[in-house]
Amino acid sequence: MKLNLRVWRQRGADAPGAMATYEVDNISADMSFLEMLDTLNEELILRGEDPVAFDHDCREGICGACSLVINGDAHGPERTTTCQLHMRSFADGDTIDIEPWRASAFPVIKDLVVDRSAFDRIIQAGGYISAPTGAAPEAHAAPVPKPDADFAFEHAECIGCGACVAACPNGSAMLFTSAKVNHLNVLPQGAPERETRVLDMVATMDAEGFGGCTLTGECATACPKGIPLPSIAAMNRQWLRANRKVRR
Amino acid sequence: MALATRTDNGSAVRKPPPKRSFWGSTVGKKVVMAVSGLLMLGYLVAHVMGNLKVFFGPAEFNEYGHWLRTMGAPVLHQEWALWIVRVVLLAAVVAHAVSAYQLSKRDIKARPKKYVHQRKRASYATRTMRWGGIIVALFIVWHILDLTTLTVNENAQPGRPYENVVATFSTWYGNVIYITAMLAIGLHIRHGFWSAAQTLGVGSASRDRALKAIANGLALVLTAGFIAVPVAVMTGVVS
């Protein structure tokens, strides 16, 4: 199929950017969205032009590297990552708008690549557990009730792609932060830092310049891993509890 | 997952987490909004019940109006209870507005660049929270000048609330302002009540449907209850 692409081009972090129009032909419906962009980049390189920069890594939907807003939707029209989006979701002759994640906490580095290291700093603030080094402990030493294990696993699915921030009209990172807090706070392994984790991760989230949550629900709709919106309420519950328990 | 990172601002160096604070946090400000909002919502429930007494005639409604001033007697002096309610409500309005202003400012700053490809986001009630809040705030000013101080109410008679209500809703602008504001309040409550539950950590997947039903029910009952009075005056049921 033949497609018209309108792609955000920006030479560097401080350079002004604009949408540029490209035409790509001979696109197979079985190609992934990123393979379609690879096709475009091959043509651009042959023509001696600068290829479009975009983040990608595993291309199997588990690393969270790909990050494109396609026709106004983070990761495009299907509920999956951009790398797992296939061209069969589009029709011949379509015009597709491709933009980077937009949030002041995620500055554009080049074209469609943004700096998501703010997420790393939120993780550094508390997204870990205190574990003794040495041999792995016996698996049955710390019993975990099944509902807690399921809850933890549901939140552990977050791959930190940042689609929640990109979709949120306030550029808020509440869904990401809540996934990480809930994942560890519900487990006995995460118990020693239960209060400091949520307080420090929320404080870092705010310091990184993410917006506040207005419960629009756009984040949970965009999330390729299906982190549910009530996660945010669960983190708020943890945050209020920590405020009662911890002296500053 | 961050592949490329900034190297010029020392982001590779691990910094201690920023200071923990309640009011300085977006979550803390939301908690203040939720608590002050619920306080005002509780007041609205009492308010609408009082309003509906208008259907039992001028004698009963005016008696209720006078009771509001002697409420709490003989423990409290004349109008003391009323002033306590007013002070608490004013504090709630100020807390709600200040946190809304600070959070909105922050939210707009966090998303400075809009997407070229726009699409409709979130529900109508959610998208109109800010403008709806401003409309309701302006309405409260008008409402106090109209029916408390009687400044803008022509044909007003001090101490006769029933007659003043009829006078207000006998003007076209009185009806338009009031009904518009009540629709705005309904939408505001619809998203606000459910949001407050999430902010206070009450929300969960299993309670979500119940919370949404309560939010919609409250919004509907309050809006219908308030609008019933101008409609009754317009149709001559109350005169």
- Domains of chain A: residue spans and CATH: 3-110 (3.10.20.30), 116-129+143-245 (1.10.1060.10)
Shortest distance, CA A189 to any CA of chain B (angstroms): 22
> What residues 194-223 of chain B have any CB closer than 8 A to a CB of chain A?
194-195, 197-205, 208
Beta bridge partners of A23: A4
Residue-level pLDDT at B13: 61
Per CB-CB distance under 8 Å, the chain A contacts of B113 are: 102
Interface mutation vs chain B, best among A157, A216, A245, most B CBs within 10 Å: A216
Residue-level pLDDT at A138: 86
The mean pLDDT value for A134-139 works out to 83
- Measure the CA–CA gap between A99 and A106, rounded to whole angstroms: 13
Q: How many CB pairs under 8 A join A and B?
A: 181
Residue-level pLDDT at A247: 67
Distances (CA, A) of B8 to A106, A206, B113: 15, 21, 23
Q: Is the pLDDT of residue B10 over 80?
A: no
Per CB-CB distance under 8 Å, the chain A contacts of B19 are: 203
Mean pLDDT, rounded, of chain B: 92
Q: How many alpha carbons lie under 13 Å from residue B36 in its C-beta half-sphere?
A: 20
Give pLDDT tens digits for B47-75.
Answer: 999 999 999 999 999 999 999 999 988 99
Residue-level pLDDT at A136: 82
Residue-level pLDDT at B200: 97
The ipTM of this complex is: 0.92
| Length of chain B, in residues | 239
Interface mutation vs chain A, best among B32, B107, B204, most A CBs within 10 Å: B107
Query: Which residues lie closer than 8 Å to A58 by C-beta, 6 or more apart?
Result: A65, A83
Q: Is the pLDDT of residue A110 over 70?
A: yes
Per CB-CB distance under 8 Å, the chain B contacts of A6 are: 116
Give pLDDT tens digits for B78-88.
Answer: 999 999 999 99
The mean pLDDT value for A235-239 works out to 97
Q: Is the pLDDT of residue B7 over 80?
A: no
Query: What are B160's two structure tokens?
Result: 């006769």
Residue-level pLDDT at B12: 54
Identify the CA nearest to B193 among candidates B129, B145, B135: B129
Residue-level pLDDT at B1: 59
The domains of chain B, with CATH numbers, are 28-108+128-235 (1.20.1300.10)
Task: Tell me, rounded to whole angstroms, the distance of Cα B68 from its chain centroid.
Answer: 21
Distances (CA, A) of A71 to A74, A78, A140, B118, B170: 8, 11, 48, 8, 51
Q: Identify the band that residue A105 occupies on the pLDDT scale cut at 50, 70 and 90.
A: very high
- Residue B45 has φ and ψ, to the nearest 5°, of -60, -45
Give pLDDT tens digits for B181-196.
Answer: 999 999 999 999 999 9
The mean pLDDT value for A14-30 works out to 95
CB-CB: which of B17, B198, B201 is closest to A125?
A: B17
The mean pLDDT value for B207-228 works out to 97
Q: Is the pLDDT of residue B8 over 60?
A: no
Q: Is B235 exposed, middle or buried (0-12, 13-18, 19+ CB in 10 A)?
A: exposed
Shortest distance, CA B176 to any CA of chain A (angstroms): 29
Residue-level pLDDT at B213: 97
> What residues 44-73 of chain B have any CB closer than 8 A to a CB of chain A?
none
Per CB-CB distance under 8 Å, the chain B contacts of A69 are: 115, 117
- Measure the CA–CA gap between A205 and A173, rounded to whole angstroms: 7
Nearest residue of A to residue B119, measured between CA atoms: A72
> What residues 25-44 of chain B have any CB closer than 8 A to a CB of chain A?
25-31
Identify the CA nearest to A161 among candidates A78, A79, A65: A65
Q: Identify the band that residue B123 occupies on the pLDDT scale cut at 50, 70 and 90.
A: confident
Give pLDDT tens digits for A52-85.
Answer: 999 999 999 999 999 999 999 999 999 999 999 9
Residue-level pLDDT at B9: 55
Q: Tokens 């965009």 label which residue?
A: A222
Per CB-CB distance under 8 Å, the chain B contacts of A125 are: 17
The mean pLDDT value for B135-157 works out to 92
Q: Is the pLDDT of residue A140 over 90?
A: no
Give pLDDT tens digits for B198-208.
Answer: 999 999 999 99
Q: Is B11 on the interface with A (CB under 8 A)?
A: yes
The mean pLDDT value for A181-202 works out to 95
- Measure the CA–CA gap between A149 and A122, rounded to whole angstroms: 23
Q: Identify the band that residue B153 occupies on the pLDDT scale cut at 50, 70 and 90.
A: confident
> What residues 124-153 of chain B have any CB closer than 8 A to a CB of chain A?
126-127, 129
Q: Is the pLDDT of residue A248 over 80?
A: no
Q: Is the pLDDT of residue A137 over 90?
A: no
Q: Provide the edge-to-edge strand list for the sheet that holds A69-70.
A: A17-24, A3-10, A95-99, A69-70, A73-74
> What residues 77-96 of chain B have any CB closer than 8 A to a CB of chain A?
none
